[in-house]
Chain A
Amino acid sequence: MNAVPPSASAEKPPFLEIRNVKKSFGGVRALKDVSLTIEAGKIYHLMGENGCGKSTLIKILSGAQKADEGEILIDGKPTGAVAGDLGAIGALGAGIETVYQDLSLLPNLSVAENVAFTEQLVASSGRLARRLDLATLHATARRALADVHLPTDRSFLTRRTDTLPLATRQLVAIARAIASDARLVIMDEPTTSLTRQEVENLIKVVARLQERGVAVLFVTHKLDECKQIGGRAVIMRDGMKVTELDVATHSKAKFSHWMTGREISETRYRTDPKLGDVLLKVEGLSKGVAFADATFELRRGEILGITGLLDSGRNELALALAGISPASHGTIRLDGKTIAPQSAAEAIGHGIGYVPEDRLTEGLFLEKPIQDNITLPILDRLKNAFGIISAGRARRTAEESVRDLQIVAPEVSAPVQSLSGGNQQRVLIGRWLTIDPRLLILHGPTVGVDVGSKDTIFRIIQRLADGGMSVIIISDDLPELLQNCDRILIMRQGRIISDDSAVYLNEDSIYRAMAGHTKETI
């Protein structure tokens, strides 16, 4: 199991070593004695279910939190602070850059400022009464942006980052790491919202980082990508490091087992579907340049997958069905009745529930209790004779959902942000189930959700369909679609190019259809 030749490490100490780090929050022990060595130019994948302690570990490494006990050594030397309190500037100064899921880009600042400001801040040790060196700022930004193959002209440098597409923003965040001469780049689920092509591009950038001796630590749920990238897997469970090994040497099932402590099958969840009559009939649905002439049917109790690249129009089609961004032409017939939902409220009235992809910004009120989040669409029904919301009924409805969807929560009055990603997602699904939808549209239902929670969410989806609900899943997680759907629509450049039963499809054939058989595929 010792893939690393001992000679090199014997002479030069590893870049980073953490020893016996412990951390508790109140009574909860988030990290129970974790040790980890990170060597220059190597790639690591930190894996584990939500709540296993990996986020805490990342926060300690990036200086955002302080460990209770333990040591952090950089280049074999202790970092001074006994309990490994690096501090944000300390961690950055040591060359540890963290690209969080939100990318930590400042939306209102320019690309150049986002990329190269940290460098100047580190140079001044965080003191702010210093001249901003614009020439250096732009020079550094240019150099780093060139490294990730982004434009380096003035108009790009001065563009506000919130005007950029997500994949570009991610590269900007990586360019920032390069600009500050990072020696370790930590990426927190970097591929969550990227299309496959963008993921390929990211992997290339990572390879270049590795060539210059930069270590990369991925925090990830996606085993396929880990295997594609290669490197070492560090698996955590319950605040402990379970094992560390080469990703190439073990099967996906084995990894799942280590992470969850139980066996999870990779098999199809969809078995023995009971399909009813046609519920939804979409004909010639179009909207500007986003999508055109979408025609398909959906039966009661059927699960339909829709996939395609980010610009394929799949998202826009979903939003049109949900009434959020109405279509311009074509008809939608629900239960034989033609509808043209112009708003989400209207779609809800027709019994169409839509669970958005980005549960953090589009769906949930994080600081509000679970109860309020779940009962939001049915406040009307919870009113008593005086028009006042009945707290008891709201509570009972929420408790029912929590039980039904196996949401792990202390009580329904707890804020949603105290839950793990998988449980937050279930709260969102629970909200839409309160309206008893005939059609439930799930957009990326397991984005950023760990293996164990995925399993639970898939079982819930199957149960709903068995109960006669029609479900549409929009996703680019192909295994997810293949495991759950009866049929899969593939979209490309605004058109549905394939409508086929899932059992006849596989990941490879779908991906080739999505990308349009071009040479650059895989």
Chain B
Amino acid sequence: MSDAISVSGASDQQRSLGRRLWDILGARPELFTLMLVVATCVVVIIANPDFLQMSNLVDILRASVVRGLFAMGVLVVLAAGGIDVSFTAIAAFVMYALTMLVINVAPDMPLVAILVIAAAGGAGLGALNGLLVHKLSAPSLIVTIGTQYVYRSFLLTFVGTALFMNIPAAMDNLGKASLYTHVSSNGVASALPATVLVLAVAALVTWFILERTLMGRAIFAVGGNPQIAERLGIKLFTVRVFVFAYAGLLAGVAGVVHVASNRLANPFDLAGMELEIIAAVVLGGARITGGSGSVIGTLLGVLLITLVSNVLIFVGIPSTLQLFIVGLFILIAGTIFTLRNRG
């Protein structure tokens, strides 16, 4: 009998090493995202060392800004147990309507005013989502599919479909502004866009709200179990309206950044990005069922998605195969995160 005990003891210890790693991964799912990011980079660098050029890194950052802004909003909604697929429609609506307004009414409007209006407009449309989700007690997926169609169709039917090639000066300047310009040995200049700052601020604010305010705890509480949260005195209405309004606000800002970076306001832009953003947030460790997720994980998730869609060309992977890789990552991450939850 003593034999049996010592045998099981040994296997217990063996297990405990792997077990410990597993537990760490359970507590910090973003480490897994980081591992995927590093693995992708290593593969790309081995296949093509040219990848390590400053211009490429800057490109990835630039391409991450709009995605990152959207993802911060989605993170907050997911954390509260909801889901939002209308943010691209909100962004398109705000960017196009606002560009039109500025060009036709106040061409000299300063950037700050433009951003404030974009944020307010986005927040308003987002708050409408929250209001509908709460009042109809309908699943937020259904509500936001509905509002996505309504916002988009309203934009194309009543606001306009023509492209704006000459965007307002303030937006143009935002798109051109750079924090730092790097000139590489072969003479290629690459500029770190100032829009990265917008994402940095948004990430900090989102982190602060989620981790350092009562609202943040209330958001996770509602995402964990809304009935219990309500019993503890948390007002579900306030939380729901807040998270959707916040996602809308970031979508509005993302819309302006998108116009500024592309020097073009196209009302057909951004449509179809929803799933990719939600995938990025989930890859960053947030659960689709709510109540979890972190800013750093989400940023890593966005980075991963951007990496895959921007740099796999460097290793000779055709763009048609990129979605395959993204899909694979999602399946791997999904499996890992589910297993860790079963513990």
Assembled-state Cα–Cα distance A92/B211 (Å): 24
- In the complex, what residues of B have CB within 8 A of residue A102's CB? 228
Across the interface, do A106 and B233 meet the contact criterion of CB distance under 8 Å? no
Cross-chain contact of B220 among A100, A109, A124, A127 (Cβ < 8 A): A109
| Pairwise interchain contact A131-B213, C-beta atoms closer than 8 A | yes
**Hey, which bits of chain B sit against chain A, CB under 8 A?**
8, 211-218, 220-221, 223-225, 228-235, 238-239, 242, 291-292, 343
Is B214's CB under 8 angstroms from A124's CB?
A: yes
List the 4 closest pairs (A to B, CB-CB), nearest first: A108-B291, A108-B224, A128-B215, A89-B233
Residue among B8, B214, B224, B292 making CB contact with A132, cutoff 8 Å: B214
Nearest chain A CB to B288's CB is how many angstroms away?
A: 13
Contacts of B220 in A (CB 8 A): 106, 108-109
Complex Cα gap A105–B231 (Å) = 10
Residue pair B224, A104 in contact (C-beta under 8 Å): no
A128:B213 contact, CB within 8 angstroms: yes
Q: Say yes or no: is A8 at the interface (Cβ < 8 Å to chain B).
A: no
Q: In the complex the two chains form, what is the Cα distance from A118 to B233 in whole Å? A: 8
**A88 and B292 in contact (CB under 8 A), knowing A121-B214, A128-B239?**
no
A117 adjacent to chain B (CB < 8 Å): yes
Given known contacts A88-B230, A100-B231, A122-B233, is B224 in contact with A107 (CB within 8 Å)? Answer: yes
User: Is B238 touching A128 in the complex (CB atoms < 8 A)?
Assistant: yes
A132:B228 contact, CB within 8 angstroms: no
* Chain A neighbourhood of B233, CB < 8 A: 88-89, 92, 118, 121-122, 126
**A58: shortest Cβ distance to chain B, in Å?**
11
CA distance A98 to B229 in the complex (A): 13
**B224 engages A129 (CB within 8 Å):** no
A362 to chain B, nearest CB (A): 15
A sample of 24 inter-chain contacts (CB < 8 A) reads: A88-B232, A92-B233, A104-B228, A104-B232, A105-B228, A106-B224, A106-B225, A106-B228, A106-B291, A107-B291, A108-B220, A109-B217, A118-B233, A121-B218, A121-B232, A121-B234, A126-B234, A128-B214, A128-B235, A129-B213, A130-B215, A131-B214, A132-B216, A289-B8
Whether A132 touches B217, Cβ cut-off 8 Å, given contacts A106-B225, A108-B223, A108-B292, is: yes
Prevailing SS type, chain A contact patch: loop
Query: Which of B231, B233, B343 has its CB near the most chain A CB atoms (within 10 A)?
Result: B233
Taken residue by residue from 406 to 439, chain A's Cβ proximity to chain B (1 for < 8 Å, 0 otherwise) reads as 0000000000000000000000000000000000
Q: A106-B224, A108-B292 are in contact. Are A88 and B231 (CB under 8 A)?
A: yes
Per the bound structure, the CA–CA distance linking A416 and B27 in Å amounts to: 37
Q: Quick check: A129 and B215 within 8 Å, CB to CB?
A: yes
Q: How far is the CA of A105 from the CA of B214 in the complex (A)?
A: 17
Q: Could you tell me if B229 and A106 are in contact, using CB atoms closer than 8 angstroms? A: yes
Known contacts A89-B233, A122-B233: does B213 contact A132 (CB below 8 Å)?
A: yes
Tell me the nearest residue of chain B to A106, going by C-beta: B224
Contact A117 B221 (CB under 8 A): yes
Q: Closest A residue to B79 by CB, please name it.
A: A108
Instruction: Provide the residues of chain A in CB contact with B8, threshold 8 Å.
Output: 288-289
A117 and B343 alpha carbons, distance in the complex (Å): 27
Cβ–Cβ < 8 Å partners of A89 in chain B = 233
Is the beta-carbon distance between B221 and A109 smaller than 8 angstroms?
Answer: yes
Beyond A121-B233, A132-B212, list 5 extra A-B contacts (CB 8 Å).
A92-B232, A100-B231, A121-B218, A131-B212, A132-B213
A121 to B343, CA, bound (A): 32
Q: Do A128 and B228 form a contact, CB below 8 Å, given A88-B233, A108-B223, A289-B8? A: no
Which B residues are in CB contact (< 8 Å) with A105?
228
Whether A170 sits at the interface, judged by CB under 8 Å, is no
Contacts of B217 in A (CB 8 A): 109, 113, 117, 132
Kindly list chain A residues whose C-beta atoms are within 8 Å of the C-beta of B235: 126, 128
Q: List, in ascending order, chain A residues with CB within 8 A of B211's CB.
A: 132
Say whether A74 faces chain B, with CB atoms less than 8 Å apart: no
Which residues of A, 126-173, contact B by the 8 Å Cβ criterion?
Answer: 126-132, 134, 163
A371 within 8 A of B: no
- Roughly how many angstroms separate A474 CA and B212 CA in the complex, as a whole number? 47
